[in-house]
Amino acid sequence: MNIEVKNKKLKAWIQEVADMCTPKDIYICNGSNEEYDQMIKLLLDSGIAIPLKKRKNSFLFRSDPSDVARVEDNTYISTPDQIEAGPTNNWIAPDDLKKTMKDLYKGCMKGRTMYVIPFSMGPIGSPIAKIGIEISDSPYVVVNMHIMTRVSDRVLELLGTDGDFIPCLHSIGAPLEPGQEDSKWPCAPIEKKYISHFPNENLIWSYGSGYGGNALLGKKCLALRIASAMARRESWMAEHMLILRLTSPEGKQYHIAAAFPSACGKTNLAMMQPSIPGWKCECVGDDIAWMKIGPDGRLYAINPENGFFGVAPGTSYETNPMAMDTLKENCIFTNCALTDEGDVWWEGMDGDPPKHAIDWKGNDWTPESDSVAAHANARFTAPAAQCPVICEDWEKPEGVPIDIFIFGGRRSSVVPLVTEAYSWDHGVFLGSTAASETTAANIGSVGNLRRDPFAMKPFCGYNMGDYFQHWFNMGGKLGDKAPRIFYVNWFRKSEEGKFLWPGFSDNSRVLKWMCERVEGSVGAEETPIGLIPKEGDLDVNGVDMPSDDLKELLKIDSEAWKAEIPDIEHHLSTFGDRLPDKLKKQLDEFKKRLG
């Protein structure tokens, strides 16, 4: 080992993993720029990384076609009793799962270096941060973790001799025999991929995949699945939410945390440039919020990540100029196309497609090709500090105070542009019944309605009925200092199938109304589903939009909502006796308001 490890628990764990996985070397990461360059050189020499002439210090990777996304079917929440995992998670008993995985781990790092990656989720030393240690045999994981988390030998110092950490074990599951040539993207076949979480032990074991959230264990595994279970035990919140700061022309700051399922414009909103004169938006985080109650009784949030791991296709100067400016240098791109000029390209990027490129599988591609150039889930990994609108307080150890929560989904009809919850409990009802019409980015056939409570369905590390109760409990602790809750739908369409709301930078107009509601400077109209803007209160000055469209956007069709009740009831019934009584009460009140 190149660095002396003083933490007793860590030292013993490294030895235990080395004995089981039998690597040829052990390397302790320190998080330095030199280390990053050394890892990149390793990946360049092996032909896995492709340097991009057009982007400084940026590289393209192509994964194996079997290893391109999160493997949700092979993702497990392993608790002693299945009921603790709940109906939304795959479950295997801990002893059985550990036996299966230990058999797979035996000798799995043969011929490879075992990297020990000490990292902090959140600013190092923050009262909201947590320390993780990922052991991996993938240098691709090391460089991505450098960007996505705070990898540093300072983390080891902070641990001391007996500090606590979250152990995250990862292997690509491709041992190398002496003289065997390595593949360009080593990984195990799909049936041997396991992403396993043991929330009672704060433990993550991942095997067989080298890609994204399956391998970068600080991401969804730690930051949501394990953290959500820890948060429940310790009375804080780990949520699948962007965080932004909105500043009014008078200089008043509002902090907003928003949860949307995939394909609902989360990153776009996090980096939005308001179209209303005088208003300013800054990004604190685009994906995950960890929140604790501060000494003043308010809820404070940090972005536990250090980078953006975003979907490339569809990202453009038209949809998200700030993201595009973030990607100019020091980035990792995975499964994008490579142009002849030495740059990346993906579907939805500005301008004409290249006349020729190498696609994500390494084949020639032209606009006439039958296949896409970039995989639909192609990714960029970029340092958050490079974002032109990153908030100056994004690394504030105590976090920023949250004023507003937003839930939402993609709905072509029924759901209005914006609704305010009547109360915290009503807001929990809105979050617990959140739904989106499926797109190519979700599971299921396009256009089906998929309930995704709090946008946490794939990421909650315990029974979601108990998760809903945790939200009620947090509301009780926050009392009158609780953030206000709203629900949005940017995607309502006309009968002709056209989007009624312009979206993107104009979403700031809806956020402005929310801030005015917090200030009490505008009223609201009561409806069966919640409070909506009164006529004239939503600032649409300068928006080229017929007044009939605005009326349609805010229209509440009680019959359409009544038709939705059986689906809501069916969804809530899946949680059985774990469904909080307060949610049943909210459903009853909702039905009464509909008449």
Per the residue annotation, which of 187, 221, 264, 460 is the catalytic one?
264
**Which amino acid, residue 260?**
F
Which pLDDT value is given to residue 262? 80
> Which of 3.40.50.1000, 3.40.449.10, 2.60.40.10, 3.40.710.10 would CATH assign to domain 8-51+74-235?
3.40.449.10
Domain residues of the chain, as ranges? Answer: 8-51+74-235, 238-306+393-594, 308-386
Judge contact between 550 and 538, C-beta under 8 A.
yes
- Span 336-353, pLDDT tens digits: 999 999 999 999 999 999
Judge contact between 487 and 429, C-beta under 8 A.
no
Quote the tokens at residue 297.
Answer: 């009784």
Strands 357-358 and 25-28 turn out to be unpaired
Which pLDDT value is given to residue 2? 83
Instruction: Look at residues 37, 122, 48 and name the one whose alpha carbon lies nearest to residue 330.
Output: 37
The number of C-alpha atoms within 13 Å of 263 and in the hemisphere containing its C-beta is 18
In CATH, the number for domain 238-306+393-594 is 3.90.228.20
Superfamily name with CATH number, domain 308-386: Phosphoenolpyruvate Carboxykinase, domain 2 (2.170.8.10)
- Residue with structure tokens 């009392």? 479
Judge contact between 423 and 495, C-beta under 8 A.
no
- Span 71-119, pLDDT tens digits: 999 999 999 999 999 999 999 999 999 999 999 999 999 999 999 999 9
Q: Following DSSP, what letter does each residue of 95-160 receive, concatenated?
A: HHHHHHHHHHHTTTTTTSEEEEEEEEESSTT-TT-EEEEEEES-HHHHHHHHHHSEE-HHHHHHHT
Q: Which helix (H) or strand (E) holds 225?
A: none
Asked if 8-51+74-235 and 238-306+393-594 have one fold, the answer is no
Q: Annotated catalytic, 264? A: yes
The DSSP letter of residue 206 is E
pTM of the entire predicted model:
0.97
Q: What is the pLDDT tens value at each position of the chain, 595 positions in all?
A: 788 899 999 999 999 999 999 999 999 999 999 999 999 999 999 999 999 999 999 999 999 999 999 999 999 999 999 999 999 999 999 999 999 999 999 999 999 999 999 999 999 999 999 999 999 999 999 999 999 999 999 999 999 999 999 999 999 999 999 999 999 999 999 999 999 999 999 999 999 999 999 999 999 999 999 999 999 999 999 999 999 999 999 999 999 999 998 878 899 999 999 999 999 999 999 999 999 999 999 999 999 999 999 999 999 999 999 999 999 999 999 999 999 999 999 999 999 999 999 999 999 999 999 999 999 999 999 999 999 999 999 999 999 999 999 999 999 999 999 999 999 999 999 999 999 997 654 444 545 899 999 999 999 999 999 999 999 999 999 999 999 999 999 999 999 999 999 999 999 999 999 999 999 999 999 999 999 999 999 999 999 999 899 999 999 999 999 999 999 999 999 999 999 999 999 999 999 999 9
